[in-house]
Amino acid sequence: MKFSKRNKIQILFKTLSIFILFVSIKGGVMPADQFNKLNKEEKRVIIEKGTEAPFSGDLLNEKREGTFTCRQCGAALYYSASKFESHCGWPSFDDEIKGAVLRIPDADGRRTEIVCSNCKAHLGHVFLGEKFTEKDTRHCVNSISMDFIPEKLELEEKAVFAGGCFWGVEYYMQQINGVKSVVSGYTGGKSEAPTYEDVSYKNTGHYEAVEITYDPALVNFETLAKTFFEIHDPTQKNGQGPDIGKQYRSAVFYQDEEQKIITQKLINQLKDKGYKIATKILAPAAFYRAEEYHQDYYDNRGKLPYCHGYVKRF
Ligand SMILES: [Zn+2]
């Protein structure tokens, strides 16, 4: 396929907006053009990978309950529950918030450097096998690379699935531990703020879908996606169950590259088992909340879904 210059610019914009979307859902994280300005000493450590003098940092003796965040981008890195006293002179943690810290071989060829996985700010080094705590891991972090917020920041991520009538998908997805909320709505089409009538009777291209907000510390996208594939029939092409129409087709609207890769992996697994999967993997699109009477439809009526049910497929 050949891309015109305009197409290339559009693709660049789309990639950029997906990245910003990804970053913005990771808690209090800021996009690259809004990173905190660093002073000279912060730059020396965070950008030039320097080390602050031992026993000099202002977070070394921070013992309150809370969250340690990246000085440069605001991403949550460590909870106070993982901080311990190592007497080495720098704040020490035996675990990071899932996905918050990247480990890379240090330029010195011996140690393992740790950086903020969002903005790549230098944090310090990680050491294993010192037997300080049960996790046998010490993240040795420069105070100057972090800020402290005296509260436990709740992390949230989003996932969007279309699997036929949204009442049924919502009913099952909201029962998963770690799911904070499920909203029924419309996505993937052309018109802005569509109504149920628009989606049902006009050719808007929208799907009935659910937007799930979940705590990544309690449940991961793979579990949500597997459940999605097991509570609807992902082989039906023209709709779902008795609901026939384009708005009832099966799709996963991935919110970041990781979700896209996991969805493709699960579809491949199902294909290997002989399923002819109709589910489309689609780029994230604006999500429009449906009318209030569509929210929590089955719970509010004390009924069970007519179009969805659990079938083990993995
Ligand atoms: Zn950062």
- The secondary structure of 233-258 as a DSSP string is -TT-SSEETTEESGGG-EEEE-SSHH
pLDDT reported for residue 8: 53
- 140 flagged as catalytic: yes
For residue range 249-262, what is the model confidence (pLDDT) as tens digits? Answer: 999 999 988 899 99
CA–centroid distance, 11 to ligand 1, in Å, is 26
What is the CB-side half-sphere exposure of residue 144 using CA atoms within 13 A?
Answer: 22
State the Cα torsion 39-41-47-53 to the nearest 10°: -150
Tokens coding 301:
């009526």
* Whole-number CA gyration radius for the chain: 23
CA–centroid distance, 224 to ligand 1, in Å, is 27
pLDDT at residue 27 greater than cutoff 50: no
In a domain, 83, yes or no: yes
- 165 flagged as catalytic: yes
Examine the domain organization and report whether 181 and 282 are in the same domain.
yes
pLDDT at residue 2 greater than cutoff 60: no
Q: How many domains does the chain have?
A: 2
Averaged pLDDT, 299-305:
88
Task: Give percent of the chain above pLDDT 90.
Answer: 79
Q: What is the 8-class DSSP label of residue 295?
A: T
pLDDT at residue 49 greater than cutoff 70: yes
For residue range 95-128, what is the model confidence (pLDDT) as tens digits? Answer: 998 789 999 999 999 999 999 998 999 999 999 9
CA–centroid distance, 195 to ligand 1, in Å, is 40
Examine the domain organization and report whether 66 and 180 are in the same domain.
no
- Options 70, 116, 165, 307, the catalytic residue: 165
- What are the residues facing 208 on neighbouring strands? 186
Examine the domain organization and report whether 225 and 203 are in the same domain.
yes
Q: Which domain holds residue 106?
A: 36-149
Question: Sign of dihedral through CA atoms 260, 19, 214, 288?
Answer: negative
CA–centroid distance, 116 to ligand 1, in Å, is 5
User: What stretch of H or E contains 159?
Assistant: strand 157-163
CB 161 within 8 A of CB 173: yes
Examine the domain organization and report whether 230 and 111 are in the same domain.
no
CA–centroid distance, 76 to ligand 1, in Å, is 8
CA–centroid distance, 145 to ligand 1, in Å, is 9
Examine the domain organization and report whether 225 and 187 are in the same domain.
yes
In a domain, 48, yes or no: yes
CA–centroid distance, 159 to ligand 1, in Å, is 23
Examine the domain organization and report whether 127 and 182 are in the same domain.
no
CATH number at residue 42: 2.170.150.20
Examine the domain organization and report whether 94 and 163 are in the same domain.
no
Examine the domain organization and report whether 165 and 232 are in the same domain.
yes
- Options 70, 116, 140, 307, the catalytic residue: 140
Q: Which domain-ending residue is among 149, 183, 214?
A: 149
Examine the domain organization and report whether 81 and 102 are in the same domain.
yes
CATH number at residue 196: 3.30.1060.10
Measured between alpha carbons, how far is 270 from 279 in angstroms, rounded to an integer?
A: 11
Q: Which domain-ending residue is among 91, 115, 149?
A: 149
In a domain, 296, yes or no: yes
Q: Which domain-ending residue is among 149, 170, 187?
A: 149
CA–centroid distance, 43 to ligand 1, in Å, is 13
Examine the domain organization and report whether 225 and 273 are in the same domain.
yes
Measured between alpha carbons, how far is 129 from 136 in angstroms, rounded to an integer?
A: 5
In a domain, 10, yes or no: no
CB 157 within 8 A of CB 262: no
pLDDT reported for residue 17: 46
In a domain, 313, yes or no: no
Stated pTM of the model: 0.62
Read off the pLDDT band of 10 (50, 70, 90).
Answer: low
